[in-house]
Structure 1
Amino acid sequence: MGLRLQMLMVLVMMVSLQGWLPLGCMEEERIALLHLKDALNYPNGTSLPSWIKGDAHCCSWELIQCNSSSSSSRGRVTMLDLGSVRNQELGDWYLNASLFLPFQQLNTLSLSDNRIAGFVEQKGSYEQQRLSNLEHLDLGLNHFDNNILSFVEGFSSLKSLYLGYNKLKGLINLKESLSSLEDLDLSGNNINKLGASRGPSNLSALKLENITTYESSFQLLQSL
Structure 2
Amino acid sequence: MGLFLQVLTVLVITVSLQGWLPRGCLEEERIALLHLKDSLNYPNGTSLPSWRIAHANCCDWERIRCNSSTGRVTLLDLGGTRNEELGDWYLNASLFLPFQQLNRLILWNNRIAGWVEKKGGYELQKLSNLEILDLEYNSFNNSILSFVERLPSLKSLYLDYNRLEGLIDLKG
Query: Does TM, normalized by the shorter one, top 0.5?
Result: yes
Q: Structure 1 pair 121/46, CA: closer, same or farther in 2 (3 Å)?
A: same
* Aligned-partner SS, 1:143: coil
Instruction: Verify: 1:65 aligned to 2:61, yes or no.
Output: no
Q: Is the 8 A contact 1:146 1:169 kept in 2?
A: yes
Q: Structure 1 pair 100/39, CA: closer, same or farther in 2 (3 Å)?
A: same
List gaps (5 residues or longer) in structure 2.
none
Aligned residues: 170
Instruction: Verify: 1:130 aligned to 2:126, yes or no.
Output: yes
Partners in 2 of 1:167 and 1:138 — Cα distance?
15
Residues 29-178 of structure 1: pairs in structure 2 closer than 5 A: 29-69=29-69, 74-122=70-118, 127=123, 130-174=126-170
Q: Quick check: which one's helix share is greater? A: 2
Deviations 1:107-137, CA, capped at 9 Å, x for gaps: 000000111111125369x559611110000
Deviations 1:139-178, CA, capped at 9 Å, x for gaps: 001111111111212202100000001111113232xxxx
List gaps (5 residues or longer) in structure 1.
175-198, 201-224
Q: Structure 1 pair 44/147, CA: closer, same or farther in 2 (3 Å)?
A: same
RMSD: 2.8
**Hey, what does 1:218 align to over in structure 2?**
none
Partners in 1 of 2:155 and 2:114 — Cα distance?
21
TM-score by length of 2: 0.86
Deviation of 1:24 (Å): 1.6
Partners in 2 of 1:111 and 1:10 — Cα distance?
45
Q: Quick check: which one's strand share is greater? A: 1
Q: RCO higher in 1 or 2 (8 Å CA, sep ≥ 6)?
A: 2
Deviations 1:62-116, CA, capped at 9 Å, x for gaps: 10011112xxxx0111110111111112211110011011111110000001111
Q: Is the 8 A contact 2:92 2:119 kept in 1?
A: no
Q: Structure 1 pair 129/141, CA: closer, same or farther in 2 (3 Å)?
A: closer
Identical amino acids, percent of aligned pairs: 67
Partners in 2 of 1:128 and 1:119 — Cα distance?
10
